[in-house]
Chain A
Amino acid sequence: MSVDTKTQEPIIQFTNVSKKYKDVQALYDVSFAIKRGDIFGYIGPNGAGKTTTLKILVGLIRDYSGEIKINNESLHTLINPGNLIGYLPQDVGFQDWRTVNHALTTFGLLSGMKKTDLQQRIPEILELVGLTEARNRKIKYLSGGMEQKLKLAQALLHKPQILILDEPMSGLDPTSRWQMKNIIRQLAESDITIIFSSHILSDVEDIATTIGILKDGNIVKIGSPQDLEQELIQGDTVEVIGEALMEKIVLIRDLPYVVKVDGEENNPNRLTILFNPNSDLNESIVSLLHFLSENRIVVKHFNYMKPSLEEVYLKYVTGGSA
């Protein structure tokens, strides 16, 4: 499916990109565009083709069909796409004998940086990712979180315009995840376009400005987190938790501003109430609270519900495209 590129010219444009591994079709006619400065969250089940897409973009997979343009130039004719792109692969290792400083120096030199520039850039980048203390440590002695930060550091070293992160939060503890998300947000503010894949939907929801859902090698949905959530909203819904609510379900159903009331027999103290989309939300809430109070119904919890990315994801991944 094609995606609206909006008014801004995209920095990356995929057009009908397909990739087949022997008998397996990993990507099938994938087309989408990413705007400059976007944080593009790429989600999908295992084997959907996320890593294949990212590897094609960084030039590790070259035998694909279709067209990819970066800054309006074909990926095939770009002389050094590696200079524009920084890449944090999902599973990647370093030789045992390398120190943090040595790894960054080697990768910086291979990216075409000068030794004198690296002497200034390495401390800067280590500070950004929070690895200053570990500069002279051997990589094999770093913790999983620190190694992930080093992988991010090598991707950022040559100041790329586009940053591609394959499962950047995978295996990180909550603190490191929080730090990683902050760094990603910080980078996006400095006009770096970020594409990242993740299995952790709450992380994608937190930081992505655009989300692409991939299923069986196809992009089945793409849009901002708000757009995707909006699609699931049938109307405004509230959750009420109180005492013996099931007994009042018929009364609540008869209210003029209520369309639907759901409750479960094994949980008689909880109801979800869908308001009529034609009635004013604030008035509906006030009227409902007034009704509950008048009928001496004990309310312990009253919550406005919005669909989560998880629901959107499940709809498209398990239920097919809309």
Chain B
Amino acid sequence: MSFGILFWDEIRGFIKSKIMITLWVGMPVLSIILHFIQPNAEGMPVTILTSLLLASIGGLLAAVMLSTTIVNERNAKVYDLFLIRPVKRWHLLLTKYLAVFLCLLIASILSIVLGIIIDYATIGLSATAIILEALKSLAIALAAMSISCAIGILIGILVNSVALAAILSIYLGEQLSVLAVLPSVLLENINPALFSIGIGLGITVIVIIIEIAIFNRKQF
């Protein structure tokens, strides 16, 4: 039962602290702006440009957001009041991961749908082709973001300084998330979306298991 309460509590926190609105408005707007100000992208469908942006900026935002939030909350001893109640420690971590991932998923869908609409109106590609391409791009971007989220949590529970957590998240969170994108670039004759989802899910699960083990042993 505590899982659901914690999950909606996290979501409410994102709404109240205006993180959600910033992501949901900021990411789609950023992809459109980039399309218009990037001369090299001329002719490139906004859908593709958006997915590239999501994989890099989205992952980075996720890692920084999670790591700094967790360090802040640990330093402010926010978790004591949760852990003295019948709350499992892994619920705290997993609900954070899921809440951030859900926020990013919605922001990504909004951005890509906006890209499809712009592409349909400007380049005039067939709707089916754009949607298929968009889904493929979305899957790769989400796999990369999932890895970033997991790395962000790991940094959050290991590091004590907010600044250090942000720096490490930028170094590691984004770089490691590339693992989900690489197969589609390096290997031929594979389904890049399926491959990315597999790698993204695998790395995420392994990292989350490690951080749950660390968090369970952590002294509060």
Where the two chains meet, the residues of A that have a C-beta atom closer than 8 Å to any C-beta of B are 21, 55, 58-61, 80, 82-83, 85, 87, 89, 91-98, 102, 106-107, 109-112, 154
Among the listed B2, B5, B13, B77, which residue makes an inter-chain contact with A92, where contact means beta carbons less than 8 Å apart?
B77
Which residue on B lies nearest to A102, using beta carbons? B12
**18 pairs from A and B in contact (CB 8 Å cutoff):** A21-B219, A61-B220, A82-B84, A87-B81, A87-B84, A89-B77, A92-B81, A93-B77, A94-B78, A95-B17, A95-B78, A97-B13, A97-B17, A98-B16, A102-B12, A110-B5, A110-B87, A112-B1
Chain A residues positioned under 8 Å from B84 (CB to CB): 58-60, 82, 85, 87
Tell whether, in the assembled complex, residue B77 and residue A91 are in contact, meaning their CB atoms are under 8 Å apart.
Answer: yes
- Residues of B whose CB lies within 8 Å of any CB of A are 1-2, 5-6, 9, 12-13, 16-17, 73, 76-78, 80-87, 219-220
In the complex the two chains form, is A154's CB within 8 Å of B86's CB?
no
Q: Is the CB of B86 within 8 A of A112?
A: yes
Number of contacts between A and B (CB, 8 Å)? 63
Distance A41 CA – B1 CA, assembled complex (angstroms): 36
User: How far is it, in angstroms, between the C-alpha of A112 and the C-alpha of B219 when the chains are bound?
Assistant: 24
Question: Do the beta carbons of B76 and A93 come within 8 Å of each other?
Answer: yes
- A107 vs B5: C-alpha distance in the bound complex, in angstroms? 10
A92 touches B80 (CB 8 A): yes
Could you say which residues of chain A place their CB within 8 Å of the CB of B6? 110
A164 to B220 alpha-carbon distance, docked (Å): 16
Whether B220 contacts A111 by the Cβ 8 Å rule is no
User: Other CB < 8 Å A-B pairs besides A89-B81, A93-B78, 13 of them?
Assistant: A21-B219, A60-B80, A60-B83, A61-B220, A83-B86, A87-B80, A91-B77, A93-B76, A94-B76, A95-B17, A107-B81, A110-B2, A110-B5
CA distance A59 to B219 in the complex (A): 11
Residue in A59, A80, A89, A106 whose Cβ sees the most chain B Cβ within 10 Å: A106
* A154 neighbours in B (Cβ, 8 Å): 81
Chain A residues whose CB sits within 8 angstroms of the CB of B86 once the complex forms: 80, 82-83, 110-112
* Contact residue among A55, A83, A106, A111 (Cβ-Cβ distance under 8 Å from B9): A106
Provide the bound-state CA to CA distance between A111 and B87, in Å: 8
A21 to B219, CA, bound (A): 10
Known interface pairs A95-B13, A95-B78, A97-B16. Does A61 touch B219 (Cβ–Cβ under 8 Å)? yes
Q: State the 3 A-B residue pairs at the shortest beta-carbon distance, nearest first.
A: A93-B76, A97-B16, A110-B85
Among A82, A92, A95, A98, point to the contact of B85 (Cβ < 8 A): A82
CB-nearest residue of chain B relative to A55?
B220
CA distance A102 to B17 in the complex (A): 14
Which B residues lie within 8 Å of A85 (CB)? Answer: 84
Residues of A within 8 A of B76 (CB): 92-94
- Cβ–Cβ contact B73 & A95, under 8 A: yes
Which residues of A lie under 8 Å from residue B1 when comparing CB positions? 112
CA distance A58 to B1 in the complex (A): 21
Closest Cβ–Cβ distance, residue A222 to chain B (whole Å): 25
Which of A82, A89, A94, A109 meets B5, CB within 8 Å? A109
User: What's the minimum C-beta distance from B27 to chain A, rounded to whole angstroms?
Assistant: 21
Beta-carbon nearest neighbor of B86 in chain A: A80
Give the distance in Å from the alpha carbon of A92 to the alpha carbon of B80 in the complex: 7
Q: Which of B9, B12, B220 contacts A60 (CB 8 A)?
A: B220
Taking CB as reference atom, which chain B residue is nearest A110?
B85
Q: How far is the CA of A98 from the CA of B86 in the complex (A)?
A: 21
User: Complex formed: what's the CA distance from A87 to B9 in Å?
Assistant: 21
A111 touches B85 (CB 8 A): yes
Question: Contact check: which of B12, B17, B85, B220 meets A107 at CB < 8 Å?
Answer: B85
Task: Kindly state the separation between the CA atoms of A278 and B13 in the bound complex, as whole angstroms.
Answer: 71
* Contact of A59 with B77 in the complex, beta carbons under 8 Å: no
Complex Cα distance, B84 from A55, in Å, reads: 9
User: Among the listed B12, B80, B82, which residue makes an inter-chain contact with A110, where contact means beta carbons less than 8 Å apart?
Assistant: B82
Kindly list chain B residues whose C-beta atoms are within 8 Å of the C-beta of A91.
77
- Closest residue on chain B to residue A107 by CB atoms: B81
Nearest to B5 among chain A residues (CB) is: A109
List the A side residues contacting B9 at CB < 8 Å: 106
Chain A residues positioned under 8 Å from B85 (CB to CB): 82, 107, 110-111
A42 vs B73: C-alpha distance when bound (angstroms) = 28
Q: A93 to B72: give the CA distance in the assembly, Å.
A: 10
Chain A residues in 8 Å Cβ range of B2: 110
**B78: A residues at CB distance < 8 A:** 92-95
Residues of chain A lying within 8 A (CB to CB) of residue B12: 102
